[in-house]
Amino acid sequence: MHPHQFNLIALHDRPAPSTLPHGDNPAQISAYYREHIETADSYQPTVENAALIFLSTRRKITGWIQLGNGTLDTLLVHPREIFRAVLLADAAAFVMVHNHPSGDPSPSEADIKITRELIAAAKFLKIELLDHLIFGHPQEGKGYVSLRELGYFYTT
């Protein structure tokens, strides 16, 4: 499927509503990430890559966008750019995903900090951040960690 231009952002994989895949849990998001994002031409496995996966109110995946590529161990993303993309995509919810080229998907302090900032902003905008997945080498366990499963999604 060819990417479509969507108001200054390239939104990938806008399938017909009847064929939308589910994104209810980390395993489904991981399968989607491995099939669509890791295989994209813009994906660079030797550096950090960040993307957003957009979901409908029924938790069907409506598309994704790559936020950018970083360096071996750093990627600069700002909530402003993230929510701009989420709003332009008309997403009811979203999942933040990125990789760790080292292969170790353990979250860094920066990963935890941006997740908490996104949770607060999403709550204010009444858009749900479902999860933040960090991908490492798939040969080691699941090959990813879910910050929600690790307990970083708390309510205040």
What's the pTM value of the predicted model, to 2 decimals? Answer: 0.85
For the segment 30-58, what is each residue's pLDDT rounded down to a tens digit?
Answer: 999 999 999 999 899 999 999 999 999 99
Q: Where are the domains of the chain?
A: 1-8+23-53+64-73+87-156
Q: Which DSSP symbol is given to 107?
A: P
Question: Can you give the pLDDT at residue 117?
Answer: 93
115-136, pLDDT tens digit by residue? 999 999 999 999 999 999 999 9
Given this model, what pLDDT does residue 154 score? 74
Element (H, E) at 131: strand 128-135
Whether 3 shows a pLDDT value over 50: the answer reads no
Contact 62, 20 (CB under 8 A): yes
Could you confirm whether domain 1-8+23-53+64-73+87-156 is CATH 3.40.1390.30?
no
If you average pLDDT over every residue of the chain, what do you get?
85
